[in-house]
Amino acid sequence: MVKEANTPIYKTLISDLKKQIDDGHYKKGDLLPSENELCKTYNTTRPTVRQALSELIRLGYIVRHHGKGSIVSEPKSGLGILSIKGSTAGVGKKNLRTQILAKTQKTTWPADFPYELSAIQSEAGCLYLARLRHVNGLPTLYEETYITDIDLPRFTMHNLEKHSLFETLNKYHKVEIKEGEQKIWAVSADKNLAELLAVKTGKPILHMKRSMQTNRPHLTIYSFLYCNTEEYFIQDYF
């Protein structure tokens, strides 16, 4: 990446420290250099250093302790990942089959898309896919996913039947979920849903609309899902 001359000092500091933490130069529990040391290194003053550290706190990279210093903390992993669980235990890979109803394809955003899109996002278009997850042979979760199509070359060729979407995004494109928001409803299965999930019309179905920000600017993942929670349930961490 070409660094612009006008990049603010505090932003340089943020990316430098982030990189060093990601690369393992500073590990979990390590103490970062003190604010005054960072001032010397970057030839700047404490308010500027603190501005950078505040951002790292927000991102979950560090915690600060009064009188002690900045301690590297675990970057939250698994954030935003939903898993299907049974009443006794988790659902293993053997019992889970993913059926692709619509292969990953480049399209334009739907006209009635329920989230506001930035100009850049609209311009970029999106990748769309629809999947149906079967647990022990039972269709349980229907999910439609929209991903901003920014800098994801050849993403459509990945086989998302065997590997999870988030795994693939992370492994091949270094995309990480930073934060997200979800809206949750309990709805009645209409005719379409009843057919998809093989339940009777009127059955309670869990419905979620989710938007997830990533470490890549403008790359947002949107997910709309319906889940039959009769036998299993949805679990997530925050």
Partner DNA sequence: AAAGCAAACTTGTATATACAAGAAAAAATT
Partner DNA sequence: AATTTTTTCTTGTATATACAAGTTTGCTTT
Dist CA 218 CA 154 (whole Å) = 18
How is residue 203 written in tokens? 């059955």
CA neighbor of 140 nearest in space, from 99, 181, 187, 90: 99
Looking at residue 58, what DSSP letter applies?
H
Q: Where does this chain touch a second copy (CB under 8 A) — which range of 27-35, 90-98, 154-162, 198-206?
A: 198-206
According to DSSP, the residues that pair with 226 across neighbouring strands are 142, 207
Under the binding rule (CB under 8 A), the answer on residue 187 touching a second copy is: yes
From the list DNA, a second copy, none, partner contacted by residue 10 (C-beta under 5 to 8 A by kind): DNA
From the list a second copy, DNA, none, partner contacted by residue 206 (C-beta under 5 to 8 A by kind): a second copy
Which residues, 6+ apart, have CB-to-CB distance to 35 below 8 Å?
46, 49, 50, 53, 70
Under the binding rule (CB under 8 A), the answer on residue 103 touching a second copy is: no
Under the binding rule (CB under 8 A), the answer on residue 185 touching a second copy is: yes
Under the binding rule (CB under 8 A), the answer on residue 190 touching a second copy is: no
CB of 172 to a second copy, least distance (A): 21
Under the binding rule (CB under 8 A), the answer on residue 216 touching a second copy is: no
Is the Cβ of residue 65 or residue 162 nearer to DNA in the bound state? 65
Is the Cβ of residue 32 or residue 227 nearer to DNA in the bound state? 32
Distance between first and last Cα of the chain: 32
The 3-state DSSP class for residue 21 equals helix
From the list DNA, a second copy, none, partner contacted by residue 213 (C-beta under 5 to 8 A by kind): none
- Per CB under 8 A, the list member of 80, 166, 197, 222 interacting with a second copy is 80
According to DSSP, the residues that pair with 205 across neighbouring strands are 187
Q: Where are the alpha helices (DSSP H) in 83-216?
A: 119-124, 165-173, 191-197
Q: Footprint of a second copy on this chain (CB under 8 A)?
A: 47, 54, 58, 76, 79-80, 85, 179-188, 202, 204-207, 227, 229, 233-238
